[in-house]
Amino acid sequence: MRKVQLGKTREQIPVLGQGTMGIKSGKDKEYYEKWKASLRRGIELGMTHIDTAELYNFGASERTIGEVIKEYGRDDVFITSKLFPRHLGYNSMLKACNKSLERLDTKYLDLYLVHFPSLGFSKIKKHMRVMEQLLNEGKIRYIGVSNYSIDQFKEAQECLKKAEIVTNQLRANIMKQKHIHNSLPYYKKEGIILTAYSPLGHRGYTNLKEDIKSKLEQVAKSHNATIQQITLAWLINHENVIAIPKAFQINHIKDNAAAANINLTETEIKQFYTE
């Protein structure tokens, strides 16, 4: 699995990780065993970056991941989770991180994000104060944000005394290109990683319009790949972009991992530009 540098750190992170937003709560044992089998296979294929959040189905995602990662050396996986901004108080934000650590059954998070920005500089400042404290306490290794505009990102960075924000996690895919065109140039200039969530949309591109589908099929044929693999490759062939597709089936995990080896030409990338 190809890796890239995480922001200005010395950390190397896979260009493709594993998203887990779909893990539901209250399901039977067979359901969770399928998820865990998929996560294990992804780790074995090099997708060692696993993304989760306290918001995802009332902690079901974090608990399931926690059961899987204990089977590996802690240094062999890179775990990202997210703070939900409904925790408005200083103590409640600290408690939220501790709860995530408890559900994941780990002593630290590799990367902790503020899931959504709160309006107002004072609230951003409060979030960053907590994040930097967690960093200093060793409960998190790196700080990130999610769904922030460039201006909000800049404000958040200004609020940190010593630490630097290493990523902004944004919805980006071949059909939602706004952040690739409008945000990525700034992050590339600043040496920041853009983490693309929902890189395959919500239906895995099974309902594409004929024109885009035809283009994807042509490129996929030339690379002996599926159109889903081409859409993932299209994202991660952009500098400073990593992606976190989710997959419930082993065969989809294998396909996702293989997409990291597809090198698209500049012409192939640009023919899909829509914005």
Residues designated catalytic: 56
Alpha-carbon torsion angle 164, 70, 15, 230, nearest 10: -140
Residues 48, 62, 32: CA angle, nearest 5 degrees: 85
**Do 259 and 232 meet the contact criterion of CB atoms below 8 Å apart?**
yes
Amino acid at 186: Y
- Alpha-carbon span 269 to 275, nearest angstrom: 13
Smallest Cα–Cα separation from 230: which of 208, 12, 248, 178?
Answer: 208
Amino acid at 35: W
Q: How far are the Cα atoms of 89, 116, 159, 188, 231 from residue 156, in angstroms, in the given order?
A: 17, 12, 5, 18, 31
